[in-house]
Amino acid sequence: MFSLFKKKPPLTETVTLKTRVELFWKWYAEAAPRFFQTIEAGKCPDLAAEVSAKVDELLPGFAWVFGPGENGQGHSFTLSGEGNLHRQLLTLYWFSQAPNLPGWTFYPSRQPGSIEGKRIKIGEQTFNPIEFWITPSINPKKEKVDIIVWHPLFSALKDKDKWTILFLFLDEVLGEYGTQQSIGEIKLGNEHLADAIPLSELLGFIKKTESEAGWKKYLPGQAGTIYKQPQPHDEFLRGDIMVGSTVHLVLINEYAKSKGEYKDPLEGTGANYVFITFDASILPKGGQSAARGEIEDTLEKALSAAQGGRVLGGALGVRYAYIDLLLFDGDTSLQIVRQVLKDKQLPPGTGIHFFAKEKRGHRIVL
């Protein structure tokens, strides 16, 4: 049979993120007592192959680690998106479904840790993190701390290797969210400045600064951003957007940069980015955002009740209005969205589109 006439596989053939997370927690709850005893016996490395195999099966591409529990009590399991915002949103969903297991703490991102005794070797050079010296300066406009970094071995390395080493140790000291949320501009210095502090003291400096300044830090996907497009166009869908709001500006920028040919950043996870389009002319003049917001609120409530996804934002275009979603449960989530749109009596031609070009053929038109 010619491939042209092959039937497209239904989206339900893909195991959804919701199912993957449910299967993970069922497995972990059953294994948790054995894991705890093995770690207590000092045999944590014996678990690496088993845990890696299960994570690769259900949550491929994510990193994981065992560690100490909260306040030093018990043990912890961390699932990390390794700084990738797309995956960080999924680890937060994974974390929200975690069961209460005696002796265990769960984290959706790498936590701040000690650098004592840690070393990284590149070529013939062995980097000791206590030899990093940081000169911090407060950036009140961006509510971040800018830093100048010096290490005695930097002069022997290529710039790429310098940045790799630096970010590995920054993430170790500040945690996965700390580096991206609290650190602003970074410069590599040529000398040990007089007012520099050791890397081990950077977290304390940041916490003190944020507390005194009243800066509030948000989890990935919590803080909204307004964006504008100065020259709307009709070259590709979403090109007509004039103004929008989002908690995921990375998604908006990446899609726009791809000119609609966006490679799926959630491939293999069972989650989907979709956006709704409907005729913008049905929204009341002067109240477009409020009217669209009512639809967004109804979608958020319905998806949240089913643990099926969340609203990321929305936008107003010359022709269409848009609502952006992250869905966790495949066709089940899509049916929830479709029902809300029908209940809201959105006009014929209203569409549910996938951001990913690979899934373009699965769009739904009311």
Q: 96 and 136 share a domain?
A: no
Compute CA distances 92 → 81, 88, 100, 106, 113, whole Å: 10, 6, 16, 11, 20
Q: 96 and 10 share a domain?
A: yes
Number of folded domains that form the chain: 3
Residue 54 pLDDT:
97
Report yes or no on 337 lying in a domain: yes
Q: 36 and 149 share a domain?
A: no
Report yes or no on 36 lying in a domain: yes
Reported as a single tens digit per residue, the pLDDT across 176-222 is 999 989 999 999 998 999 999 999 999 999 999 999 999 999 999 99
Which residue type sits at 258?
Answer: S
Q: 195 and 282 share a domain?
A: no
Q: 205 and 229 share a domain?
A: no
Q: Give the structural domain span for 320.
A: 225-365
Q: 329 and 357 share a domain?
A: yes
Q: 251 and 306 share a domain?
A: yes
Statement: residue 7 has pLDDT above 90: no
Report yes or no on 219 lying in a domain: no
Domain-terminating residue out of 213, 240, 272: 213
Residue 5 pLDDT:
36
Q: 177 and 253 share a domain?
A: no
Would you state the torsion angle of the CA atoms of residues 277, 279, 285, 286, taken in this order, to the nearest 10 degrees? Answer: 0
Q: 134 and 100 share a domain?
A: no
Distance (Å, whole) CA 149 – CA 142: 19
Residue 277 pLDDT:
98
Report yes or no on 218 lying in a domain: no
251 closest CA partner among 225, 231, 219: 225
Q: 152 and 262 share a domain?
A: no
Would you state the torsion angle of the CA atoms of residues 289, 297, 84, 233, taken in this order, to the nearest 10 degrees? Answer: -30
Reported as a single tens digit per residue, the pLDDT across 78-136 is 999 999 999 999 999 999 999 999 999 999 999 998 888 888 888 788 889 999 999 99
Say whether pTM exceeds 0.85: yes
Statement: residue 10 has pLDDT above 70: no
